[in-house]
Structure 1
């Protein structure tokens, strides 16, 4: 899903190739030695509208109101008032002089003191009262919410507009405007609006949002794009210690740990709407950390925030984001309750962080109104719908929107709806869009048929040699209630055709009752996963040997048929039952799955193929999982952002369709990602299983090795295929990504934005005597009874797209062909 997100961001970059403000001002603030003054306060005279200069002393300020002067100030310097003779004044050069008489003013420069600092005294009072402000003051609450998401191309200039790529699409540049935050020109290319009713109960920690209307321009049939845009802007509470953006934990300036990473300055105080408020400026103490710079206004009695503006530090270790700006405004209710009324977030996405680089603005503006408190709802009101989809919500009339929007669209926003509808009729744009959509999804759409996955078209292994594959699926919309999928493949060395076909049908949408089945005949690498996938067309590593090392001939020919039914009675709780039949035999003359017909009498001979009928029942619980679409297939918004508990029971039944063995298998899988505020992300994965009964190699638990040159989740980097087998096992993987927190404190490494990763993994397992006796294969059973373990350390974010791991084997060092050390890498797109 991460890769899809960045590829859809690439869509907007590809597109970049393919109410008017009354006062605008920009400039540079310097001291008397011509050194830039970062984090200086710039505001319109007699107002609370202002900004903080960036690390280079630059600023841009804009207002819908008309002002005649700005005031520039910084603690330890005399304030400077600059008259504005025009409504648009750019490239000012403002010099601040050091104050001659400081009296009781404390001079702060660089890292401010944590002692005798009035700003930190105020901050401590905010900590004391933060759970007693806003919605936390009431047992229940409800309000109406309007959200507007917009993507805009930026840094539009004449050379850009005259590019050959835009021939035939010049009409789009009629809508170029100027940003209220950065002063750069931009062109709206995407807009999404939604209206919701939000209900919450603080006594049960429950919240429910009911979507009333949704409308977007340009990509109404592409839920991947819409979900990507919305996922960029997860909900956050400014009072929390950490604010999550782009899978990163930024330290909030109101955090209890903020004094360790921020410098704070009490810069001003004044009345705002009859409330006396203090203005506190904050900025990072060090470069390279996930922090902000900005200022906030806080009331002197409730210590509730009245207004906050902040921008991500330029040195923050985050990819593809050049700037991020946040602004929140609160209104006062009944003299003491401060309620959020406006939340604005703007992100400048770019491949490079240089000022002149072109990119895309992503903007979210959320408005809140009609607050109601202490109206209790029935207990079942907050029960989450499993698969609720109301088509009417996405087809509201223009009249409905005109009557219900919280604020009117400006001329550019109104025009973007028409502009995108027109643009989609331009053949050149359609070709560009198709190209990027194909790279993002892996499928090329031809009417109601998708060809792909295109990245599986070519493969290689020791048995098949060069392997070509062609396949596809039906696709009418993101919300299809049924889907057929299939493929065929051919190996030029074994001269054999392979195929797979499957179908699914959602017979009851509300509880997601789905039935399906399929058949696959192919060559497969068994032993690449401890926990089996029920997908009849699941991925096979057999065709990946082009990028593998060592002996890759231990492949299996499989004929697998499966029928299943599943239901999701509760949100993110899936029950599935299935019946399957499979035959297994070796695909290689140097590898066998042989077993003794009678282990107590080997003279009766061996069998080289296996026929097995199985009944399977599983429970899949994924709390917090967010998905895209309401059809028979859904995509995860972020597959690394929620825990997963997977329980699987398999019953092998002897005799049905000449099935060979009777046994039971239990499997448990548990994965837990944890964002550790300010210290990165920790992953833990536990797998355990046990087989009851005598089974041959084809049905045993094979500890998953990794003979490729790449990092593969839930495998062991220094283990070969079939090196260890077990009929009972416990496997544990632990990994922590510090997200650059350590490297950020090393001067020579800080600017590279590298990220450090460490991990350890181990497995314990045994093999019963009767399973050893039945084995007649070419594999001599070895169980990790003394615990196999390995550890690794890696560096991520190399050139923003590559990670390299160094792994060491910790046990079983003296085995023949034991790998003691390896280097593996992986490409990926991460913020």
Structure 2
């Protein structure tokens, strides 16, 4: 019986291989030079691809084909017979054509575009895009199924036999080949989500009801889920710019596409009984955020029937070697084209070399069961479903059999079994824990339900403490904990003192996000790095531990801070926080920096320490913010969103020895602006005013920066406490061109550098009463009231893919003592 079963499997495998066709190779001219963006199709079909910049291609089909057609403008069509179902490493040479093309007028480079029929079609696509698809109906609803998968790719025998995978060789038993790249891959992560989407076009409202969520591989790891959510946000191919990996790529259907792409009318054919034109497009210049590919457009509605997009390898994007997108549309009522299937593959790798190993990220989204003109009450769209209902994560096999609009293939089904087995292998757990520590900064101790960390804050150094060591921890029963305790202790070898911080949070109501928190911190801190008073009892500014500083960085403060807060989220992304703080402040280096103020009741008429009780109300609005999880500390998806903040503080004297009565109102607006293909501008406007007389420790300090790090919302050419105000306005502008300008320079193009420009300005006033109240003996109290203080900077990012350098210039107040006219700051990090 076993032999019969084995024979049956072999027959099935043979039949499956026979019904597939796989080809790969290189297209060259007669001189042996590669031909980029050549068309490669199975003869008499619409199944095809185009070659990359090196002339390479890979093409796969579930059908068995016997001929391959290869063509490119200016070259004769070449047809190759496919003797075998699988033919790799083909070398195809095209000869220059001697016949003139009469049907299609083609352009290249900067030649005239007036007589290009492809661009004529493109204009009709622009004209009709607002009436295509879901926009045709006032109300709509549909089912949506999405699966996201991660795979190790470029698997070979040397990798399978390496010491790294010793004891885990079984994971290589079932490997497959990508239909896009031809590389062998090993799946290790799969997430499935089933949703029902409702829309109201007149109101511009949409509601998404999650019906099921299933995760295999790193199950429950919300940090990975948030990373995946940010990578694969939704997009519309009709938009002018498509956002992937925090960057805006020019869409081939964009109104600005004619300046970025070459378009060629290539073919025409019936697809699903609809006559369509095929347009091939490819970029005019290298190193820009562009695609290459083709699309099929209907001849009457000018709606897209199929489109393929592949990011060029020269595009200025890090850690991503390849991005491939394919969308298919179905026809409804003879005229309406609705998205049916969306597939996206990303090849993540440290190198863009052909044989470099990496990870595939694949998202497949299927849409079905469209319904229209079923009106819902307006209140229906205000009540969003709970995407973290535990029942959604425990759907049975019957639910998923019905919910999957596209069934799992054998590799995807095998992920569940593979991960169950891997979780029993000690070496795999070791690798997983190491990656988890690098990502979160915490070492998990499961048997104690405790995390040790964060490890990145262990070491520090400053003038008051000298070398500083810190150790901390937090309770951790799961990522959706409804309460959490966290704390740390630190020791400074120079001042021979222990410091500490402690925080407690509890989620009282999950739907309203009602959170009660309290904490205490006794430490040394560099104040004046932010215009808003610190309420953080656990964090620490980089200025307090900077190993390398600019100038005499001795203006550190002893702080004993206690906080009590209640936070409420009445509507999505709008938070209200009310609470109180009690602070004790004194100079950490009294011989070099003074926080003294006039106090008639103190001995000598001067006090060196300050105690202050404040009542605070803060309103925070973050439209577009997305989070993962429902516990007391949800994870924010790293997607730029605006932040509006209003803060009111009331200082109360007398209570617990509090020293001053005053009021403070502050407003902050941070807004990211996507400037099309010219990158992103980030702007921050801050306004504030203090009513009443207060000493230096309670005034608003224009944030200086004496570190060597580039810190947004600080002034890198200002010293700490150089400008002090009670009324202020600051503006920060930073624009990252993402290499748009450098890509035009041949000698810089291949370096993939990115240009950043910045402008900062501050205006403020300081009353004579506040000047008279403070008695610092070593720093002048000055506000930029005569004229706004300003700076500008030029930066170069993506140096070796991880470094950024900023060259900062001071615009005025050059006569201030020790004024720094010029400075260089930098930062490092991993970004796409």
| Pairwise TM-score range, normalised by the shorter structure | over 0.9
Whole-Å Cα distance in 1 between the matches of residues 669 and 707 of structure 2?
A: 25
Alignment-derived partner of residue 81 in structure 1: 79
Deviation at 1:34, TM superposition (A): 2.6
Distance 1:292 1:795 in 2: 25
Q: How many residues align?
A: 810
After TM superposition, give the deviation of residue 620 of structure 1 in Å: 0.6
Q: CA deviation at 1:106?
A: 4.6
Displacement, 1:67? 1.2
Aligned-partner Cα distance in 2 for 1:56–1:110: 19
Structure-2 residue corresponding to 1:54: 52
Query: Do the aligned partners of 1:450 and 1:473 also contact (CA within 8 Å) in 2?
Result: yes
Instruction: State yes or no: 1:370 paired with 2:369.
Output: yes
Tell me the distance in 2 between the aligned counterparts of 1:602 and 1:483. 42
Equivalent residue number for residue 643 of structure 2: 644
Tell me what 1:211 maps to.
Answer: 210
Report whether the alignment pairs 1:135 with 2:134: yes
2-structure distance, mates of 1:103, 1:776: 86
With the length of structure 2 as denominator, give the TM-score of the two structures. 0.95
Q: Distance in 1 between matches of 2:101 and 2:804?
A: 54
Larger CA deviation: 100-109 vs 248-257: 100-109
Pick one of 565, 578, 595 that aligns with 1:593.
Answer: 595
Give ranges in structure 2 of 5+ residues lacking alignment.
1-15
Counterpart Cα distance in 2 of 1:139 and 1:709: 55
User: Contact 1:147–1:195 (CA<8 Å) still a contact in 2?
Assistant: yes
Distance (Å, rounded) in 2 between the aligned partners of 1:691 and 1:412 = 63
Q: Could you tell me which residue of structure 2 aligns to residue 826 of structure 1?
A: 827
> Following TM superposition, by how much is the alpha carbon of 1:384 offset from its aligned partner in structure 2, in angstroms?
5.7
Residue in structure 2 matched with residue 91 of structure 1 by the alignment: 89
Q: CA deviation at 1:98?
A: 2.8
Contact 1:219–1:226 at 8 Å: present in 2 too? no
**1:613-668 C-alpha deviation (Å, 9 max, x unpaired):** 110001011010111221111222116x0000110000001111121110001111
How far residue 533 of structure 1 moved from its aligned partner, in angstroms, is 3.8
CA distance in 1, matches of 2:367, 2:456: 45
* CA distance in 1: counterparts of 2:791 and 2:203, whole angstroms: 44
The aligned residue for residue 451 of structure 2 is 450
| Greater relative contact order structure (CA < 8 Å, 6+ sep) | 1
Change (3 A) 1:605 1:346: same
Q: Is 1:563–2:564 an aligned residue pair? A: yes
CA contact (8 A) 1:218 1:424 kept: no
Q: How far does the alpha carbon of each residue in 1:188-243 deviate from its partner, in whole angstroms, 9 at most, with x for none?
A: 11111111101111111111211111111111120111121222111111111111
Name the CA distance, whole Å, in 1 between partners of 2:431 and 2:213: 26
Aligned twin of 2:519: 518
Task: Give 2:493's aligned residue.
Answer: 492
User: CA separation of 1:597/1:565 partners in 2, compared to 1, >3 Å: closer, same or farther?
Assistant: same
Q: Distance in 2 between matches of 1:659 and 1:35?
A: 80
| Pairs within 5 Å for 1:315-330 | 315-330=314-329
Deviation at 1:717, TM superposition (A): 0.3
In structure 1, the residue matched to 2:621 is 621
Secondary structure (helix, strand or coil) at the match of 2:677 reads coil
Separation of aligned partners in 2, 1:393 and 1:295: 39
Q: Distance in 2 between matches of 1:535 and 1:734?
A: 26
1:114 aligned to 2:116?
A: no
Partner of 1:13: none
Deviation at residue 534 of structure 1 after TM alignment? 2.8
Query: How far is 1:46 from its partner?
Result: 2.3
State the alpha-carbon separation in 1 of the partners of residues 80 and 386 from structure 2: 58
Q: Deviations over 1:583-610 (max 9, x none)?
A: 1111213222111124xx9996111111
SS in 2 for 1:197: strand
Within the candidate set 7, 21, 24, 1:23 is matched to 21
Residue number in structure 2 paired with 1:528: 529
Alignment match, 2:605: 605
Question: Displacement, 1:400?
Answer: 2.0
Deviations 1:453-495 (A, max 9, x none): 1111111111111111111111111111100011111111111
Name 1:16's counterpart in structure 2. Answer: none
The residue aligned with 1:309 is: 308
Is 2:756 the counterpart of 1:757? yes
- Cα distance in 1 between the residues matched to 2:99 and 2:496: 91
| Partner deviation per Cα, 1:536-568 (whole Å, 9 max, x = no partner) | 323244641312222222211111111111100
Matched, 1:441 2:440: yes
How far apart, CA to CA, are the structure 2 residues paired with 1:289 and 1:183?
26
Distance 1:567 1:666 in 2: 20
C-alpha displacement of 1:270: 1.0
Match of 1:333 in 2: 332
SS of equivalent to 1:430: helix
C-alpha displacement of 1:387: 6.5
Query: 1:180 aligns to what SS in structure 2?
Result: coil
Hey, what's the Cα distance between the residues in 1 that align with 2:104 and 2:377? 56
Tell me by how many angstroms 1:71 deviates.
Answer: 1.3
Match of 1:380 in 2: 379
1:360 and 2:359 correspond: yes
Distance 1:282 1:602, change over 3 A: same
Q: Distance in 1 between matches of 2:797 and 2:315?
A: 15
Distance 2:266 2:387 in 1: 50
Structure 1 residues 360, 481: closer, same or farther in 2, change over 3 A?
Answer: same
What do residues 6-42 of structure 1 show as CA deviations (whole Å, max 9, x unaligned)? xxxxxxxxxxxxx877111112122233322211111
- The answer (yes or no) to whether the contact 2:222–2:635 under 8 Å persists in 1 is no
SS of corresponding position for 1:546:
coil
Shift of 1:364: 0.5
The CA RMSD measured in Å over matched residues stands at 1.6
Instruction: Report the secondary structure of 1:645's partner residue.
Output: strand
C-alpha contact (below 8 Å) 1:312/1:325 kept by paired residues: yes
